[in-house]
Every structure is written in structure tokens, then in C-alpha cells.
Amino acid sequence: MHITLMKGKIHRASVTEADLHYEGSISIDRTLLDAAGFLVHERVEIYNIETGARFATYVIEAPNGSGTIGLNGAAARLAMIGDRVIIVAYASFDEAEAKFFSPRVVLVDPENRILPG
């Protein structure tokens, strides 16, 4: 049996860009990608804290240290610049792995800088 667990998340990130005319995805600062353990092109779920909207897309890399959280394409209609979002990636584990796995949780300030802790 396989179990799906949260692999990593970026909690309460602020949307910095929304580009309806881009072909799709979410742009995430490379620093945050590394901290959360996200891979480029990985599927992520996005939960808009402000509106309750929930949607999925894939990750593209934004410049390291930029603080960018950019919604592109159709996703740009589901959040506005300044909205706070939770970005989560999930992974499938067998039962033995699942018992010992610990997800990466990244807390950020309003400028999307990683908070200590």
C-alpha cells in the first residue's frame, strides 16, 4: 500500500506577481524551492488563504533571493498580488517510509524571506 503525505510546504507566502498571459505555472524563488525541497516542474497544490481557492499547477524557478511567488496563466485569476498562499507538494510513500518521513515546512515573512525556526 502507498500513502500520500505532505512532502514540503511554503506557508503564508505573499503573491508578488500575476501574469495571465504566461502559459502556466507558479514561479518560486530558488531559495524557497530549495528550502521546501520542491523540484522544477513538480506539481504543487496552492491554497489561497484570502479567498479559499484551491488549485494545482507546476513549479518554475524564479531568481534566487528575489522573493518571487508568481502565478502564471490561468492560476493568475485565482489570486491577486498581496494574497497570502500556502504552497504544498505531496509524495507517495510505502507504509514503512511513511512512518519515518518528516516534511519540510518553510515559514516566510510578508516579503517571502524565510523565518528562523
User: What's the pLDDT tens digit per position in 63-104?
Assistant: 999 999 999 999 999 999 999 999 999 999 999 999 999 999
CATH classification at residue 51: 2.40.40.20
Is residue 107 a part of any domain in this protein?
no
Is residue 66 a part of any domain in this protein?
yes
pTM for the whole structure: 0.96
**Catalytic positions, please?**
25, 58
Is residue 69 a part of any domain in this protein?
yes
Is residue 110 a part of any domain in this protein?
no
Is residue 113 a part of any domain in this protein?
no
Q: How far apart are CA 108 and CA 91, in angstroms?
A: 22
Is residue 106 a part of any domain in this protein?
no
Confidence of residue 35 (pLDDT cuts 50, 70, 90): very high
Domain count, the chain: 1
